[in-house]
Copies of this chain bind each other. A is one copy, B any other.
Amino acid sequence: MPTEHASSGSAQHHHEQHFNSSETVRDIVIGLADGLTVPFALAAGIAGVAGATANPSRLVVIAGLAEIAAGSIAMGLGGYLASRGDTEHFESERRREEREVVERPLDEEAEIYEIFEQYGVDRDHAMPVLRSLQANPKAYVDFMMRFELGLEEPAPGRALRSAWTIAVSYIVGGTIPLSPYVLFSSITTALHVSIGITLLALAVFGAIKGRMLGSPVLRSALQTVAIGGIAAAAAFELARLLNAHG
């Protein structure tokens, strides 16, 4: 799932500590949302066509666990590489700015003026800031990273933490829709219980997410339930159609 807006905005009001915990919240949201939704929908889809096999619940559980393994690894490793990429990108841009401040001081001056011009600040008014920055090369580079390139330094150790957080959240999310297929021998009962507890879990998750991100709680809960419900209905109907005509 693409980045949630928790990542960008509210974090920067606060301190570094809050920023990190906000990124962890974002990773939990990413993992839980897909972990609840996709295994739920897949299990419902297979449950709809597995009735003819000898042990339908077992087939749902095997396919569901295979999906959880695949999804958690794909998302966790994907998150790891994306975070690593962010860090490498930041570092290479930082080295480039460090060189440019020394080697092309006039170009950097022009860039500073350009930044301020966008906000109607002319050269005379921007010059004192430029002179201050030029007296302090580290601050100059920091300023360009943030205000020319819009880059924040990623927290150290973030990549690995992000990978584990996403993967574990996906696994936790995925066990909720699958557990009824382990507990109930009737596939119909299992499907109904799975639908009930997963929609409930999606509603609770959506409400908590809304609260943490500052969105309306009820709307957030309904949206999360709707995504899960639509995905599951589509998977269920598609599997049924294919099974009938296959």
**Which A residues are within 8 Å of any B CB, using their own CB?**
1-5, 7-10, 12-13, 26-27, 30, 33-34, 37-38, 40-42, 45-46, 49, 53, 58-59, 61-63, 65-67, 69-71, 73-75, 77-79, 81-83, 85-86, 88-90, 93, 116, 118-122, 124-129, 131-133, 135-136, 139-140, 142-143, 146-152, 162, 166, 213-215, 223, 226-228, 230-232, 234-236, 238-239, 242-243, 246
Shortest A151–chain B CB gap in Å is 6
Closest B residue by C-beta to A223: B81
Q: Please name 24 pairs of A and B residues whose Cβ atoms are closer than 8 Å in the assembled complex, sorted by A.
A: A2-B26, A2-B166, A3-B82, A8-B89, A9-B149, A12-B149, A41-B70, A42-B42, A42-B63, A42-B67, A42-B70, A58-B246, A66-B239, A69-B231, A70-B231, A74-B228, A85-B213, A116-B132, A119-B132, A119-B133, A119-B139, A121-B139, A126-B129, A129-B129
